[in-house]
Amino acid sequence: MATILPPAVLGMLGGGQLGRFFVAAAHEMGYRVWVLDPDPNSPAGRLADRHLVTAYDDYAALDQIAAACAAVTTEFENVPAEALEYLAKFVPVRPSAKAVAVCQNRIAEKTFMRAHAIPHGPFAVIRADQDISAADDGLFPAVLKVARFGYDGKGQARVASREEALHAFHAFDGEPCVLEKLLALDSELSVVLARDADGRIRAFEPGENRHRGGILDVTIAPARVEPQLREQACAIAERIAQSLDYVGTLGVEFFVSGGALFANEMAPRPHNSGHHTIDACVTSQYEQQLRALTGLPLGEPRMHSRAVMVNLLGELWFDGGDHHRPQREPDWTVVHREPGARLHLYGKHHARQGRKMGHFTVIGDDADTVLEVALRARAAVGIDDGDQ
């Protein structure tokens, strides 16, 4: 494919905050962007040169994108793969529908890992009650996860026994699931990388992730693990990208258990844990997505600063997290006054519990100081560890 240069129009399926950052990166480099998202208030749609407010399987809208856009990418993994396949008949689509289809279904994802010898935790595919009955005793305690449309802790249940697994499976209305052994975690890591159409890969330093209520809370970059473990995580993520013939920005989440790495999930898009690359790296994950899409050389992923990213969820917009009270804007001066802090708000129309409304990143030269400042600002803005 020939290099696509500005002022070409690019297409984006999905209009959340990841798409918003992509649109901003594209505008900075002289491109125009059309966004397709059914939400009239979508964060990316509000920045885009054109926002098509319709369903992802609206083929008339897809035809408009195919006619106007030089290439198309996606903002989240739950865009129907069929829409990407359709667009690929007329215009380059990166990542491919095939790669997205693997990442958007946990059964396909775990099966892919097993087939390609990617280290992963023990699991069983659950499609019916008898699959739970036949599951190995060693899988318990476990986590039952729906195969599709589960994210940020949704569609998941911890189960200590077959009886609990059956109850959770029925609560999920018998949706196909994976039953994953609950691993004792040392830590959680993620690798964000970019791969271009010629197979060249540029990986960012792995981040160390902490979660609260099943949602990413804090990312510390680089991860505070042995260099050998960081190198191994990057190598595994690169193998995944190569095996998928992936083009674009990819996020891979890992569990560290007993000093060993286990791949957990793959995200066919920029990743929440890669937000810090906007402020702490020579090239952000969103610019890399743009470069891979348009055939430009991938940028330098090197970190010029240590970084800690803190997620800002919807409960901060309500006094005491009480949604019965009126919504109000938090006092952001507690973030702005901290040295090295950078606040990013997504412009979402309304707040709700667990909704990602923004984040801030603290950067600096000393890792301990950066973490101290970030946690101080996190507490000052009102994030409570009580529901950790």
pLDDT of 153:
56
Calpha distance 272→223 (Å, rounded): 15
Band the pLDDT of 387: cuts 50, 70, 90.
very low
Q: Residue 100 above 80 pLDDT?
A: yes
> What secondary structure does DSSP assign to 305-362, as a single string?
SEEEEEEEEGGGGSGGG-TTSPP----THHHHTSTTEEEEE---SS--TT-EEEEEEE
pLDDT computed for residue 131 by the predictor: 97
Residue 385: per-residue pLDDT: 77
* Domain identity same for 150 and 247: no
Q: What is the pLDDT of residue 321?
A: 65
- The answer on 251 and 174 residing in a single domain is no
Encode pLDDT of 252-309 as tens digits: 999 999 999 999 999 999 999 999 999 999 999 999 999 999 999 999 999 999 999 9
Out of 181, 196, 213, pick the residue that ends a domain: 181
pLDDT at residue 349 greater than cutoff 90: no
pLDDT band at 150 (very low <50, low <70, confident <90, very high): low
The Cα 69–Cα 111 span in angstroms is: 34
Are 387 and 320 a contacting pair, CB within 8 Å? no
Domain contains 117: no
Rounded to whole angstroms, how far apart are CA atoms 262 and 259? 10
* CA 192 – CA 86 distance, rounded (Å): 27
User: Is residue 105 included in any domain, yes or no?
Assistant: no
CB neighbours of residue 69 within 10 Å: 24
What pLDDT, on a 0 to 100 scale, did the predictor assign at position 6?
98
Distance of CA 152 to the CA centre of its chain: 10
> 340 and 314, same structural domain?
yes
CATH of the domain at 137: 3.30.1490.20
Q: Write down the pLDDT at residue 277.
A: 98
Is pLDDT of 219 > 90? yes
| Sign (positive or negative) of CA dihedral 247, 250, 254, 260 | positive
Does residue 216 come out as left (phi exceeding 0), alpha (psi in the -120 to 50 range) or beta?
Answer: beta
Residue 325's pLDDT is 76
In this structure, is residue 327 part of a structural domain? yes
Q: Same structural domain for residues 269 and 304?
A: yes
Q: What is the 8-class DSSP label of residue 177?
A: E
> What does DSSP assign to residue 116?
T
More confident residue, 149 or 252: 252
CATH code of the domain in which 293 resides: 3.30.470.20
Q: In angstroms, rounded to a whole number, what is the distance separating the alpha carbons of residues 318 and 370?
A: 28
Tally of domains in the chain = 3
Spatial CA neighbour of 223 closest among 213, 237, 238, 234: 234
Q: How confident is the model at residue 327 (pLDDT cuts 50, 70, 90)?
A: confident
Confidence of residue 324 (pLDDT cuts 50, 70, 90): confident
Share of the chain above pLDDT 70, in %: 97
Domain that holds residue 236: 187-383
